């Protein structure tokens, strides 16, 4: 299945000004970048454009500035780190209004292969409202546009979508291409058997995802906090576990839908229970293993048990494509990380195409040391979930078709 979108490989940028939307929303502490993964991830696209003789103008948001410019959300430290990583000077245009005198002067002075970084796009209130005046100002700086920020692709903002109303020559960068190829195609055109694993706390967050995946998968595995609402829907005692009482009927419908579609729906067969939620989250905790249909009243389910680990791991081993979103238990606690660890290990040892759909499962896989064993780890949290729901993302939809 083709990508369907024009890629950075196919864009002729020699001598042209290229506006690139990156995801430089990096964690900072007192003006110091504490993790530069997102900057490193953007380098292949930036280097390709430099190599091809483009004038590379980078933009991104950082954090959530409330009322216009805030010094703590300045992208200045990103410009410094980018200069080090690229081995060339990245000019930082420090305009509070993003497209100001400094930006215009810096862009006017560019030679082919030069790089300029604009100030935080969210310093402009128009950005998140996708108002045309800011889109038009951003577009006035460039001849072509590349979107490489999948983590923001589910938002229709000026810098992720609106700008394409004024720049017609558009493409996706390498990161975005990888997300479409692995996350999009894994779901829409999977090599079968196709298994999806959903975890995390709430059923409510995953309503559309569950329903959409039941149309597409051969096996759907449900673990994490959301499993207890399904177990309650089966009529089991779930003690003081997290249950969304308003969604019990929905869970019954989904179990029925799975049956009608011939999809195997796997729920925990045993569970780790404790007297209460660990406080703090990583505090030592006493747990015992009980069958899923024999949970003691007053106890709380916090992870899948060893029988379930085996059941889920066997399903993974029998698959050719596996997509996973959401941990199996309270993985931040060493005692309650066993289920998440077992699933990560089964995926790491599998020959299948293994895709981690962002958010907490990405954090868990990285933390547990399995990152390099996965085919693809999505960079988007909300964006990956909406993609799994089958939604068209505005930041991808606006890019010209191949």
Give the residue numbers of the binding site for ATP.
206, 301, 332, 358-361
* Residue among 58, 59, 55 nearest 17 (CA): 55
pTM > 0.75 = yes
Q: Report, in angstroms and rounded to the nearest whole number, the Rg of the chain calculated over CA atoms.
A: 23
Looking at residue 2, its pLDDT comes to 59
For residues 304 and 269, give the distance between their C-alpha atoms in angstroms, rounded to a whole number: 8
**Distance, CA of 266 to CA of 274 (rounded, Å):** 23
Active site residue 202: yes
Give me the DSSP letters along 80-130: HHHHHHHTS-EEEE--TTSSSHHHHHHHHTPPTT-EEEE--GGGSTHHHHT
Q: Rounded distance, CA 395 to CA 383, Å?
A: 10
Instruction: Write phi, then psi, for 348 (nearest 5 degrees).
Output: -65, -35
pLDDT tens for 98-148 read: 999 999 999 999 999 999 999 999 999 999 999 999 999 999 999 999 999
Geometric angle at alpha carbon 118, from 140 and 23, rounded to 5°: 110
User: 383-386 contacts: CB < 8 A, separation 24 or more?
Assistant: 383/150, 383/151, 383/152, 383/153, 383/154, 383/179, 383/358, 384/179, 384/183, 384/325, 384/357, 384/358, 384/359, 385/205, 385/206, 385/209, 385/325, 385/357, 385/358, 385/359, 386/154
Q: Which is the catalytic residue, given 53, 113, 382, 390?
A: 382
Is 38 known to be catalytic? yes
On the question of pLDDT at 69 being above 80, the answer is: yes
Q: Convert the pLDDT of each residue in 294-337 to its tens digit.
A: 999 999 999 999 999 999 999 999 999 999 999 999 999 999 99
DSSP three-state, residue 328: coil
Domains of the chain: 8-175 (3.40.50.1260), 182-388 (3.40.50.1260)
Catalytic member of 6, 38, 48, 55: 38
Binding site per annotation, positions: 23-25, 38, 61-64, 122, 155, 206, 301, 332, 358-361
Where is pLDDT greater, at 387 or 73? 73
The answer to whether residue 359 scores a pLDDT higher than 80 is no
Lowest-confidence region among 11-15, 16-20, 376-380: 376-380
Compute how many other C-beta atoms are within 10 angstroms of the C-beta atom of residue 94: 18
Q: Are 271 and 303 in contact (CB under 8 A)?
A: yes
Q: Is the pLDDT of residue 360 over 90?
A: no
Q: What is the pLDDT of residues 23-33, one digit of tens each?
A: 999 999 988 99
5 labelled catalytic? no
Q: What pLDDT is attached to residue 18?
A: 98
Phi-psi region for residue 113, left (φ > 0), alpha (ψ -120 to 50) or beta?
left
| Res 1: pLDDT | 42
Q: Is 382 a catalytic residue?
A: yes
pLDDT: which is higher, 402 or 113? 113
The average pLDDT across 47-59 equals 98
Question: Higher model confidence: residue 183 or residue 279?
Answer: 279
């Amino acid at each position: 299945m083709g990508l369907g979108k024009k890629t950075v490989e196919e864009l002729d940028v020699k001598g042209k000004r290229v506006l690139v939307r990156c995801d430089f929303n990096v964690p900072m502490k007192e003006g110091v970048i504490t993790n530069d993964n997102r900057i490193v991830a953007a380098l292949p696209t930036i280097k390709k454009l430099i190599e091809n003789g483009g004038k590379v103008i980078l933009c991104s948001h950082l954090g959530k500035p409330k009322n216009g410019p805030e010094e703590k959300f300045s992208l200045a430290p990103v410009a410094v780190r980018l200069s080090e990583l690229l081995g060339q000077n990245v000019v930082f245009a420090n305009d509070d209004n993003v497209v100001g005198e400094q930006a215009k002067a810096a862009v006017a002075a560019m030679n082919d292969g030069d790089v300029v970084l604009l100030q935080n796009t969210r310093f402009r209130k128009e950005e998140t409202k996708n108002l045309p005046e800011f889109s038009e100002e951003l577009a006035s700086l460039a001849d072509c546009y590349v979107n490489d920020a999948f983590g923001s692709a589910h938002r229709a903002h000026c810098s992720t979508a609106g700008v394409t109303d004024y720049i017609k020559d558009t493409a996706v960068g390498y990161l975005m291409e990888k997300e479409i190829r692995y996350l999009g195609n894994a779901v829409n055109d999977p090599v079968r058997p196709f298994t999806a694993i959903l975890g995390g706390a709430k059923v409510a967050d995953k309503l559309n995802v569950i329903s959409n995946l039941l149309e597409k998968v051969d096996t759907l595995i449900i673990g994490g906090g959301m499993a207890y609402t399904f177990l309650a829907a089966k009529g089991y005692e779930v003690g003081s576990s997290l249950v969304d009482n308003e969604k019990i009927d929905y869970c019954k419908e989904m179990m029925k839908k799975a049956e009608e579609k011939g999809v195997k729906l796997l729920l925990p067969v045993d569970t780790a229970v404790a007297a209460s939620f660990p406080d703090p989250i990583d505090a030592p905790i006493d747990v015992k293993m009980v069958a899923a249909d024999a949970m003691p009243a007053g106890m709380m389910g916090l992870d899948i048990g060893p029988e379930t680990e085996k059941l889920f791991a066997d399903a993974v081993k029998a698959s050719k494509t596996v997509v996973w979103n959401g941990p199996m238990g309270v993985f931040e606690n060493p005692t309650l990380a066993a289920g998440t660890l077992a699933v990560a290990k089964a995926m790491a040892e599998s020959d299948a195409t293994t895709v981690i759909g962002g958010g907490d499962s990405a954090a868990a896989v990285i933390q547990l040391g399995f990152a390099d064993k996965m085919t693809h780890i999505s960079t988007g949290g909300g964006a990956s979930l909406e993609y799994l729901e089958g939604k068209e993302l505005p930041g991808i939809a606006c890019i010209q078709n191949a």
